[in-house]
Amino acid sequence: MTTAARKPAKVAVIGGTGMNQWPGLDVIESVVADTPYGAPSAPLVHGTVAGVEAIFLARHGEGHKLPPHAINYRANLWALKQAGVEQVIAIGAVGAIAGWFAPGALAIPHDLIDYTWGREHTYFDGRPGSGLKHIEFNQPYAPAVRRALIEAARAANVEARDGGVMAVTQGPRLESPGEIRRLKQDGCDMVGMTSMPEAALAAELDLPYACVAVSVNWAPGIGSGDIHGQIEHWLALSMAKVRAILERALPALGAD
């Protein structure tokens, strides 16, 4: 483990459930970061993919121990910005609400609805020196990064839906069927637990941010059977497709 500075990597990947490590990343070093908001979830892993330098951060920590509501999102995004990152790709395992998003499918969502509560969700929190800024949030997922991911999926012959509305719930429990009915009525296509405040904090730091959403189960009340069994099954089958997208997206996003 080292704290030595490196040439900034332009792209960071935040891995979630199913991607607590990044197979295929040629690791150079792991950097223990310190921020005004405390420690990030895990060391920043510097490496290369397809000849492009990138940083990987395990959102749930080493060993996947941090529940969604306990993640230090502010420290995670601050550490990436501090490391020189200019664009962020988030990987999220989500439940399917829309009929077109069956388990095993991938999507690059374009919008979200935040149902979380009690999380440290902004850098403009009223503390001395924090200032105040009302960021625009018309496009929670950055169009340029979304476009690079969609084009990378096509190049990799991986089907990935262009668009979708993400519901972000508190966790760590899964939702009730009644809650899923509400989310569907609200216009949500999928449900995850980590896009907020991650996306908003990235916006506050002027970090273009987008998500690769991996459908790993039908949301409660929509499908049937063992949800946890579905999650394990579809995670195992889907992460190779995610890695294929990243291998093609990084050269475009990391180019000078």
User: What phi, psi does 218 have (nearest 5°)?
Assistant: -75, 135
Are 42 and 62 in contact by the 8 Å Cβ rule? The answer is yes
Place 149 in a pLDDT band, splitting at 50, 70 and 90. Answer: very high
Q: In this predicted model, what pLDDT tens digit does every residue of 218-236 receive, in sequence order?
A: 999 997 778 788 888 887 8
Residue 139's pLDDT is: 96
How many percent of the chain have pLDDT more than 70?
95
The CATH class of 11-253 is alpha beta
Looking at residues 5-18, what average pLDDT do you find? 78
DSSP states of 72-133: -HHHHHHHHHHTT--EEEEEEEEEE-STT--TT-EEE--EEEE---SS---S-SSSTT----
How many percent of the chain have pLDDT more than 90?
73
Looking at residues 105-114, what average pLDDT do you find? 98
Task: State pTM to two decimals.
Answer: 0.92
Nearest 10 degrees: Cα torsion 42, 48, 52, 53: 40
Who wins on pLDDT, 185 or 252?
Answer: 185
3 to 15, 45, 62: CA distances (angstroms): 21, 11, 17
Residue 232's pLDDT is: 83
